[in-house]
Amino acid sequence: MIALNIGIIGATGYGGTELYRILSNHPEVSSCTLYTSSDEHKKYSSVYPHLTEVCPLDLHPIKTEQMKDEHDVIFLAAPSGVSASLTPGLLSEDIKIIDLSGDLRLKDPDQYEKWYQKTAAPGELLQNAVYGLSEVNRACIEQAHIIANPGCYPTATLLALTPIVKHQLVRSSSIIIDAKSGVSGAGRKPSIGTSFTEMQQNLKIYKVHRHQHIPEIEQELKDMDPNIGPISFTTHLIPMTRGIMATIYVELAENQSQEQLMDLYNQFYQNMPFVRVRKDGSFPGTKDVYGSNYCDIGLKLDPRTGRLTIVSVIDNLMKGAAGQAVQNFNLLFGFDETLGLKHLLPVYP
Amino acid sequence: MIALNIGIIGATGYGGTELYRILSNHPEVSSCTLYTSSDEHKKYSSVYPHLTEVCPLDLHPIKTEQMKDEHDVIFLAAPSGVSASLTPGLLSEDIKIIDLSGDLRLKDPDQYEKWYQKTAAPGELLQNAVYGLSEVNRACIEQAHIIANPGCYPTATLLALTPIVKHQLVRSSSIIIDAKSGVSGAGRKPSIGTSFTEMQQNLKIYKVHRHQHIPEIEQELKDMDPNIGPISFTTHLIPMTRGIMATIYVELAENQSQEQLMDLYNQFYQNMPFVRVRKDGSFPGTKDVYGSNYCDIGLKLDPRTGRLTIVSVIDNLMKGAAGQAVQNFNLLFGFDETLGLKHLLPVYP
Amino acid sequence: MIALNIGIIGATGYGGTELYRILSNHPEVSSCTLYTSSDEHKKYSSVYPHLTEVCPLDLHPIKTEQMKDEHDVIFLAAPSGVSASLTPGLLSEDIKIIDLSGDLRLKDPDQYEKWYQKTAAPGELLQNAVYGLSEVNRACIEQAHIIANPGCYPTATLLALTPIVKHQLVRSSSIIIDAKSGVSGAGRKPSIGTSFTEMQQNLKIYKVHRHQHIPEIEQELKDMDPNIGPISFTTHLIPMTRGIMATIYVELAENQSQEQLMDLYNQFYQNMPFVRVRKDGSFPGTKDVYGSNYCDIGLKLDPRTGRLTIVSVIDNLMKGAAGQAVQNFNLLFGFDETLGLKHLLPVYP
Amino acid sequence: MIALNIGIIGATGYGGTELYRILSNHPEVSSCTLYTSSDEHKKYSSVYPHLTEVCPLDLHPIKTEQMKDEHDVIFLAAPSGVSASLTPGLLSEDIKIIDLSGDLRLKDPDQYEKWYQKTAAPGELLQNAVYGLSEVNRACIEQAHIIANPGCYPTATLLALTPIVKHQLVRSSSIIIDAKSGVSGAGRKPSIGTSFTEMQQNLKIYKVHRHQHIPEIEQELKDMDPNIGPISFTTHLIPMTRGIMATIYVELAENQSQEQLMDLYNQFYQNMPFVRVRKDGSFPGTKDVYGSNYCDIGLKLDPRTGRLTIVSVIDNLMKGAAGQAVQNFNLLFGFDETLGLKHLLPVYP
């Protein structure tokens, strides 16, 4: 056992507390320290009473110099903008960084500043950060020092599209992604729009044509197939806590049968423990992955229109954030990819 | 006051009880009789206790011969298949029929039998039935004897598309409709898939590429623009009781600015009391129309892809069923279109 | 038609918008003016988009002097503390006031200051305000100038207890009220505890033994039977938007059969259009009154313990706030008690 | 490692699938066989698609003779009535039985037949079955062969009451339990009353004064203090999937301060890993234990009435069923009580 010493920045957010849920039982983690800029010196269980008697830890203020010496890995689960400013101060030979925010994902700082309306991280840092879509970038992740953990929508979308995009099977500008998310994706900060009373019995569309995950998805798709054109991408808020579904419509660049497509997906993901391709004719619901690190995918060619419909679901806090971060942590250190994650079966019902 | 005598077939379903909610306070209705094939002779309030002391009526067995003589109008809110077999026996000079099922909507009986997997209604009946999309077919509805009340998804979809399709602005095969519905759309018959425990915290896609509303939408779109090709249409179950949202993606056949499109929609619906076009940049949520007959529409051209995204929301039991049926009833008899409906403001929150 | 001119203070809260839903269709109201201290000069429909094209009104700042001259009635739907300070400036011969806050309900200012931790309204004002439990205080309400509209929990509780307390049938200190409310009762101001993500799939107890509705309930019960001792009263937040249920346990001071009790309740409420006593063995759910002004009551004597269990449900924004306020408005002006309310049937499902 | 061979009867119910979620990762379980009377020979993952690629097992028909030879332990998660008839055929020296139904809990077969309206299990079997409230009956459980696993409501209720009842601090007939449960407690069989559409936005009371858990609670309370009289006990359905809250009102037989009571509870449960007494003034919500085996308890003496209010919460499928069954399994075999359970932290949010 290696017994790693872990730091979590942004422990009071939902991504942070989900990291704690996983890492506190991870066999290779010997200690965990929690950092925050909002409830310093409080007991963590006073902020999250579900951890009463489970977690004895206090919350610490963020002091990057000190953290650099104390930890083997830092997970950054802070809002966008914070990672860009903190990460440079954390860099060191002896530390690995897994950033859950959007700050290190876009290689082009101009794109970041355009879509996030914030100052980008230093260009060198952006170049060194490896995009942590575990199933797709495995080789790079294993060699990386800094991981840009993918966004929740991009994870669901890219896992659904990678097999056909990598095989250049998609017609250039035909990708339409209708994405739907549970409300926990909006974070813990309260607002009228995400209050129980306004969200229950409600279904909303938001950030139409301007969601910051658009350039992230396009960057990764183009990396697989430079011919991929701009995507249509919309995001909806669903009256549920956890879960993302991406319903994707594409036109194929060459004729494929449903059987060929099923084979392609099944082969592509056959050794990937966290991607489950549903059998032909079957589609997943978000509750099938609740609380787990799975991404479930279903697909069906429409003979009437020639379009392919692909559906993928994840738990936005797990495979869409903390779960994939731990999966990447496992890859970074050469552990079994499923360590600390496999026993977290979907909680159903 | 004309004081009409109404019959509702299928009163024990959700469409039936919503009809009762509206018609029991309609100023031109003098009496209402409730018919069912499942709880005959029971008190209606024993089947729906929320009507205790409100509704003294009993449920009656369906006897078409007798009903023909007693009523001025029959609303059929029975499942598909039932209307096709009952309606011929109800036809008469003196009675008007508003059918909420899918049985009379498709002009081509082969299409009906293909998508519904049931025996179609007689061809002559199908030809005489007028498709009751109130805002679009007003003139025909006013002269009709038999109304085929539109489906919930088609209502949301067609109201969103009509202005641009009527103006031949849509590229032939480019229409993609990602539709989402609350669970009441599945009716009152219990099933594992629609139980509270399985649907809460869940988001599902269903009937991929084979929903029976596909031919209905295509029929009506082609009626406006014969060049419209097959649509991509998917349906999702949302963990909420009421509400439909259609998120629609289209490519335009000719260049249009966002301003031109807003003008087009605003003009098209300016005298339509139940369609509310949201101002530029604003999109509706389903709760904005909860319990009311409104259809709210928002739209945004995406300069990056050239595609137009249109969002429309309705309450599936109101504008998607009973509300529009009463609106058509008003048109049939020359009443103000909003009678019995206007005071039912959205229930918010 | 009298055509009254109405002012609503606190229009941006949930009570205010529910008042608008009712009063905008009330046949005796000629005009409605909306006041707020938070979004002055905005269009009301920008704060509540469900009123797009329905409500053309602007929000006005609160100027008591001016309001006094312009309105026949003022509804105060502001938070506690505001009414106490505003009401004195609104008093006039020509104006009637209906206050939905808790400020005018407690006759004893010390009790107010103890439970609300705020400065009480002037003693004279408290003495003049009539407690507006419509079914119980009808005679006084009809003569009143100022109505203290009851709290949501007290309404559900008192309607359930009045028949037996008025008949001195309850053992002095035996009353236990386990009350449950939907989240809209907490108002529109966002907080972590009432956010969708934290409240969905959650059930909480709050303000144990210190809810400000305790002295209100005790005051009214003692008014009917001075022997009534202190009550046990707890409040729970239920993951739903609207609805209150009070489950009440009492010991009877003298032997009564279930039949006698049913008779007592049926007689007591036989001419009260908004209280529905369920038949023996049947109990209401909150959805049975959703969006309506009904209070439904069920009761059952337990032969094993001798205790009586009474259950009552209301919609907290209707009979628990705006609906009862309008019912009192009708009584104040001698209108039919159900005017503007009766057509608002429960929205089910 | 002992490597036990497990059988689960009733695997298609919610209790069964929750047992699978826990036991499939239990370090002392070498194999698991699933039995059912409803979907024999199907793949388990076809009945529960969330187990796709996780669980390769088939469902087997129930053959008691064979099972007796093959398994070290049988978990019975079948409906009431089934265990009573199956268990006699399973009895053997070499097998331990953990029954999650209500069939083996009541020592008095007459009580069973009165409350369950079914034929009781043989009297000898009832006498041999040990009531498996882990924290309270630990010593007996460790020696047992047959465990009657407690009901969900009794678990929440008894853990809340045990410290004061064991110390004879409760006035004989003063116990009132207002219990609330999520809908998964009603099982997987669909019904109108538990459909999503009817339960969302709804709160119901059911089985008033006649819930079959009443005699179970009374039996156990009287076992601790023979003076305890009949309880008042009501059950409510809450629009959430998992979770039980019991709000309990008692009068104390002798004067106690809040501090004394807190000390009593803290001491009583100090070495019990799954019971968490909240600190003074703090109360748990059901989401604090979601998906975990914890029971959280808060309490507050009301100086005004002298009554004590105790609140306890559990996840009905975990501590209220499968979780406690595994805890008892651990005790039966001398394993650490928390084995297979401790890493299942509450899933929050």
DSSP states of C75-131 as a string? Answer: EE-PPTTHHHHHHHHH--TT-EEEE-SSTTT-S-HHHHHHHH-SPPPPHHHHHHPEE
Residues C161 and C173: their CA atoms lie apart, in Å, by: 14
Residue with tokens 């004067």: D255
End-to-end distance of chain D based on CA atoms, in angstroms? 35
Cα dihedral C287/C310/C158/B346 (nearest 10): 0
Task: Find how far residue D212's CA is from the centre of its chain.
Answer: 14
Does residue D289 have a pLDDT over 90? yes
Residue to mutate among C277, C293, C345, with most B CBs inside 10 A, is: C345
In chain C, % of residues over pLDDT 70: 99
Query: Does the distance separating the beta carbons of B234 and A202 come in below 8 Å?
Result: no
Residues 6+ apart with CB under 8 A from B304: A209, A230
Domains in chain B: ranges and CATH: 4-128 (3.40.50.720), 153-316 (3.30.360.10)
Residues 6+ apart with CB under 8 A from C304: D209, D230
CB atoms within 10 A of CB C178: 27
* C7: β partners: C33, C74
Q: Contact C298/C279 with Cβ under 8 angstroms?
A: no
In chain C, which residues have their Cβ closer than 8 Å to the Cβ of D238? 203, 238-239
Instruction: Write down the pLDDT at residue C333.
Output: 97
- C132 band by pLDDT with thresholds 50, 70 and 90: very high
Give per-residue pLDDT as tens, D238-269: 999 999 999 999 999 999 999 999 999 999 99
Q: Nearest-5° angle of CA D217, CA D222, CA D226?
A: 165
The residues of chain B scoring below 50 in pLDDT are none
Question: What amino acid positions of D are annotated as catalytic residues?
Answer: 152
Q: Which of A17-26, B52-61, C1-10, C131-140 has the lowest mean pLDDT?
A: C1-10
- C1 band by pLDDT with thresholds 50, 70 and 90: low
Nearest to D150 by CA among D9, D295, D276, D34: D295
Q: Where are the alpha helices (DSSP H) in A144-206?
A: 152-166, 196-199
Residues A324 and A343: their CA atoms lie apart, in Å, by: 15
Q: Which residue of A has its CA nearest to C199?
A: A196
Pair of tokens at residue A84: 């860009």
Does residue A1 have a pLDDT over 90? no
3-state secondary structure B297-316: EEEEECCCCCEEEEEEEECC
Please tell me which of the candidates C183, C197, C198 has its beta carbon nearest to residue A197: C183
Pair of tokens at residue C85: 């300070």
Does residue A88 have a pLDDT over 60? yes
Query: Does the distance separating the beta carbons of C197 and A239 come in below 8 Å?
Result: no
Q: Which residue of B has its CA nearest to C297?
A: B52
Residue to mutate among A24, A45, A270, A348, with most D CBs inside 10 A, is: A348
Instruction: Write down the pLDDT at residue C58.
Output: 97
- D26 band by pLDDT with thresholds 50, 70 and 90: very high
In chain D, which residues have their Cβ closer than 8 Å to the Cβ of C234? 247, 309
Does residue C97 have a pLDDT over 80? yes
In chain D, which residues have their Cβ closer than 8 Å to the Cβ of A296? 52
Q: Contact D240/C239 with Cβ under 8 angstroms?
A: yes
CB atoms within 10 A of CB A264: 18
Does residue C2 have a pLDDT over 80? no
Pair of tokens at residue B171: 């590229």
Nearest to A291 by CA among A317, A267, A313, A271: A317
Query: Does the distance separating the beta carbons of D241 and A349 come in below 8 Å?
Result: yes
What is the distance in angstroms between the Cα of D272 and the nearest Cα belonging to chain A? 11
Residues 6+ apart with CB under 8 A from C10: C16, C35, C36, C76, C77, C78, C79, C82, C100
Question: How distant, in Å, are the alpha carbons of B162, B172, B252, D187 from that of B225?
Answer: 10, 9, 14, 51
Nearest to B198 by CA among A274, D49, D289: D49
Q: What DSSP state is assigned to residue B192? A: G
Please tell me which of the candidates D14, D183, D195 has its beta carbon nearest to residue B194: D195
Does residue C225 have a pLDDT over 90? yes
Once rounded to an integer, what is the mean pLDDT over residues D291-295? 98
Instruction: Write down the pLDDT at residue D348.
Output: 98
Give per-residue pLDDT as tens, A201-215: 999 999 999 999 999
Give per-residue pLDDT as tens, D108-156: 999 999 999 999 999 999 999 999 999 999 999 999 999 999 999 999 9
What is the distance in angstroms between the Cα of C78 and the nearest Cα belonging to chain B? 17
Instruction: Write down the pLDDT at residue D2.
Output: 67
Q: Which residue of B has its CA nearest to A283?
A: B205
Question: What amino acid positions of B are annotated as catalytic residues?
Answer: 152
Give per-residue pLDDT as tens, A172-211: 999 999 999 999 999 999 999 999 999 999 999 999 999 9
Query: Is residue C140 annotated as part of the catalytic site, yes or no?
Result: no
Residues B8 and B76: their CA atoms lie apart, in Å, by: 6
Q: Which residue of D has its CA nearest to A316?
A: D349
Instruction: Write down the pLDDT at residue B203.
Output: 98
Once rounded to an integer, what is the mean pLDDT over residues D37-61? 96
Q: Which of C32, C55, C152, C295 is catalytic?
A: C152
What ipTM goes with this model? 0.97
Residue to mutate among A19, A50, A294, A317, with most D CBs inside 10 A, is: A50
Residues D36 and D10: their CA atoms lie apart, in Å, by: 5
Residues D343 and D272: their CA atoms lie apart, in Å, by: 16
Does residue C135 have a pLDDT over 60? yes
- D1 band by pLDDT with thresholds 50, 70 and 90: low
Backbone φ and ψ of A141, nearest 5°: -60, -40
